[in-house]
Amino acid sequence: MNIVQSSVPPLPAELIAKFRAIVGDKYAVTDATDIAPYVTEERDLFHGRSPLVLRPGSTAEVSAICKLASEHKIALVPQGGNTGLVGGQTPHNGEVVVSMRRLDKIREIDPASNTMTCEAGVVLQIAQQRAAEVDRLFPLSLGAEGSCTIGGNLSTNAGGTAALAYGVAREMALGLEVVLADGRILNGLSKLKKDNTGYDLRNLFIGAEGTLGIITAATLKLFPKPHAVETAYVGLQSPAQALKLLSIAQNEAAGSLTSFELLADIAVDFSLRHGIDIRDPLSTKHPWYVLMELSSPRDDARDALEAILAKGMEEGIVDDAVIAANLSQRAAFWKLRDEMSAAQKPEGGSIKHDISVPVAAVPAFIEEANAAVVKLIPGSRPVPFGHLGDGNIHYNVSQPIGGNTADFMSRWHEVNEVVFAIVLRMGGSISAEHGIGVLKRDELPDVKDKVAIDLMRGIKAMLDPLGIMNPGKVL
């Protein structure tokens, strides 16, 4: 993906020295080789450039960085685990990168209040583990949870596989600490579930992708740790059948349905073909699959799951199914799902979409989008999978077998137009959980309410009048 880069004056040596003095010599990176991991990302879609990477170790240091940058009109790009998928964390035009990875402290865990306050650089998996140590659950779960950070999760309003039951990142945060563009610190950390004292400033920064300020810490919601987790892998004929199974599961599970993933056979084939130590859980192939999980505070999840599958079979919805017998088998089911994005890379170019439509519209969307994409590019291979329970489908399109990758990828925006037209007609969103970044920035004004865009621009101008916070992203 080529991003037009503008010419930015080189950063003067005296300014580099001032920034270096804030974080210390060890944490101011200027060597091109050392900077390289911060200006590229894992999908290899975006390639940026930066003269300086700063690695602050405290909120005070982030504040000092922003204050100095504001005084000299130096653009900053906040970065967490660098796992973003829309180019929001990449310095496309020579901006200074502010890496948050050293802000990695868990400041407090309060089981009585069911909260955890942690800094922005805490890796998601570490937050999950620390919650589990006090018999609590932090339910945000993503394929990149071993490297993505809490600050990045909140800045992009990450979704994940448990959003069906627990919501997205926005719904898991009670309060934030944020450094503004001018260096002021907004201390909005709070354990309160009820606080009606004016505007909800927290939600301005969640999902803003670092364009309004830098999240440095957050107070997160914890939940009771489930005593029983049961997982099933199901083979069926179509997304319409999967939708019927979802309805049965929601009726039978009484709130304990935590994940319901829809997987196309081609996505499963890619994982089996290119993943390491991945096996097909079922003995025969099926056109579509569902990965379903129930979590319960009681030991009744197994009975509920068996009842759901039995009813599905009685009604001719479920063709075959297997329930994980132990933790390792459950992990194997999820590994097959989690490897789907990476498994597309060996198949050549992949044009990716992170869309949502009303849950009931998912089968019609997939059918229409498949037909439209293949008509546009004969031989292209739609690879849909994702979170059917909340209407979020990762609608990816792999290049034709034997086709030219560069030629295929050059048609990214053509494919976008076809897919997005169907999404919008169905009342959906062009970005369900990955954000806007630069990848969808130019499409946003065409799909967003005009008044909403005006308000967003006004908020940006008020909080970042100099335009130094992650410029060129979102708006």
Q: d(Cα 272, Cα 278) in Å, to the nearest integer?
A: 6
**Which residues partner with 53 through β-bridges?**
29, 97
Domain ranges of the chain: 13-99, 106-224, 226-346, 348-434
- What's the pLDDT band for 261 if we cut at 50, 70, 90? very high
Six-digit token string for 25? 């010599």
Inform me whether the pLDDT recorded for 3 exceeds 60: no
Question: What is the mean predicted confidence (pLDDT) over 333-349?
Answer: 93
List pLDDT tens digits, range 127-180: 999 999 999 999 999 888 999 999 999 999 999 888 989 999 999 999 999 999
Q: Containing H/E element for 293?
A: strand 288-296
Q: How far is CA 340 from CA 278, 391, 426, in A?
A: 11, 18, 26
Structure tokens at 361: 């519209």
Residue 79 CB coordination number (10 Å): 31
Same fold, 13-99 and 226-346: no
Residue 112 has pLDDT above 70, yes or no: yes
Alpha carbon distance 125, 368 (integer Å)? 37
- 3-state class of 178 per DSSP? strand
Interval 426-441: pLDDT, tens: 999 999 888 899 889 9
> Which amino acid is located at 443 in the chain?
E
As a whole number of angstroms, the distance between CA 65 and CA 181 comes to 9
Q: Which of 373, 383, 395 is nearest to 348 (CA)?
A: 383
CATH architecture of 106-224: 2-Layer Sandwich (3.30)
| Bridging pattern class, strands 96-99 and 76-79 | parallel
- pLDDT on residue 182: 98
Per-residue pLDDT at 348 exceeds 70: yes
Residue 211 pLDDT greater than 70, yes or no? yes
User: Which amino acid does the sequence have at 36?
Assistant: A
Is the pLDDT assigned to residue 361 strictly greater than 90?
yes
Q: 348-434 architecture in CATH?
A: 2-Layer Sandwich (3.30)
Is the predicted pLDDT of residue 468 greater than 90, yes or no?
yes
Mean pLDDT over all residues of the chain? 94
Residue-wise pLDDT for 195-209, tens only, equals 899 999 999 999 999
Pick the CATH number of 13-99 from 2.60.120.10, 3.40.50.300, 3.30.43.10, 3.40.50.410: 3.30.43.10
Span of 36-40, 254-258, 313-317, 359-363 with lowest mean pLDDT: 254-258
Torsion of CA 211, 217, 219, 222, to 10 degrees: 100
Q: How far is CA 451 from CA 78, 204, 438, in A?
A: 28, 16, 21
Which spans in 149-228 are helix H? 150-155, 163-166, 202-205
Q: Give the model's pLDDT for residue 303.
A: 92
Residues 36-82 pLDDT 10s: 999 998 777 888 999 999 999 999 999 999 999 999 999 999 999 99
CATH-assigned architecture of domain 226-346 = 2-Layer Sandwich (3.30)
Helices and strands, counts by H and E, the chain: 17, 19
What are 73-110's pLDDT values in tens digits? 999 999 999 989 888 999 999 999 999 999 999 999 99
Mean pLDDT of 373-377: 98
Q: Is the pLDDT of residue 6 over 70?
A: no
User: Is-contact 15 92, C-beta < 8 A?
Assistant: no
| DSSP codes, 42-76 | TTS--B---S-EE---SHHHHHHHHHHHHHHT--E
Looking at residue 322, its amino acid is: V
In this prediction, residue 8 carries a pLDDT of 55
- 133 CB neighbour count, 10 Å cutoff: 9
Long-range contacts of 20-29 (CB under 8 A, 24+ apart): 22/54, 22/56, 22/61, 22/64, 22/65, 22/68, 23/54, 23/55, 23/56, 23/57, 23/61, 23/65, 27/54, 27/55, 27/56, 27/57, 27/102, 28/52, 28/53, 28/54, 28/55, 29/53, 29/54, 29/55
Place of tokens 């503004």: 180
Report the distance separating Cα 400 and Cα 350, nearest Å: 10
In degrees and rounded to multiples of 5, residue 384 shows phi and psi of: -85, 135
In what side-by-side order are the strands of the sheet with 76-79?
A: 28-29, 53-54, 96-99, 76-79
What residues does 188 pair with on adjacent strands? 176
Q: What is the structure's pLDDT at 7? A: 54
Determine the average pLDDT of the residues in 341-352: 93
